[in-house]
Amino acid sequence: MNKLFTLAVVLLSLNAFGQGQLQKEASGTLAYSSGQVMQLAQAIPAEKYAWTPQNGVRSFAEVFAHIVSANYYFASKLGAKIPDGVKMETIEKDLKTKEAIAAELKRSYELIITAIKNTKDGDLAKKVEFPFPGEYTDMSALLIAVGHSNEHLGQLVAYSRMNGIAPPWSESK
């Protein structure tokens, strides 16, 4: 009987240890990449924000604004309230200046990271609708948010390098 009780305690402890683990790791990963995105937003001169590698491709400003919009969108799918005054329909066109973009990047990352942290384990399998084909859950929204930020971080690093701007974290000290 003692062995059974000990085994039950160990199994319950392991289960408790895993509670919120995905949210903790995903929010930590997103916090890290958001720091790099925001460092790049500061390192790029304001006059370069309109730069694009070619016609029909997003500029620096448009990529940053797209990240902001996506962060709010994914956060809303996880149950967060989009801040008052944010117009999702036009946000990518409304954000034009370096200062406005930097402020909104910070605010949008804070919202999505908090939404991820607040997602309960029991909600990870809850269905969520996206405007693209497939079946998705809260877990999908969380993972897509992390991947999306990293995807555009890579794009911004490439843009920066094409303009002779080294990402601040890669410069030798």
What tokens does 143 get? 């993972």
pLDDT digits (tens, 9 = 90+) for 119-170: 999 999 999 999 989 999 999 999 999 999 999 999 999 999 999 999 999 8
Tokens 């030798």 belong to 172
The answer on pLDDT for 3 being more than 80 is no
- How far, rounded to the nearest angstrom, does the alpha carbon of residue 36 sit from its chain's CA centroid? 11
Number of residues that this document lists for the chain: 173
Residue pair 95/64 in contact (Cβ under 8 Å)? The answer is yes
The number of helices, as runs of H, and strands, as runs of E, in the chain is: 6, 2
Choosing among 3.30.70.20, 3.20.20.100, 1.20.120.450, 3.40.50.12780, the CATH entry for 21-168 is 1.20.120.450
- Convert the pLDDT of each residue in 67-106 to its tens digit: 999 999 999 999 999 999 999 999 989 998 999 999 999 9
List the chain domain ranges.
21-168
Average pLDDT score over residue span 8-24: 64
- pLDDT at residue 12 above 80? no
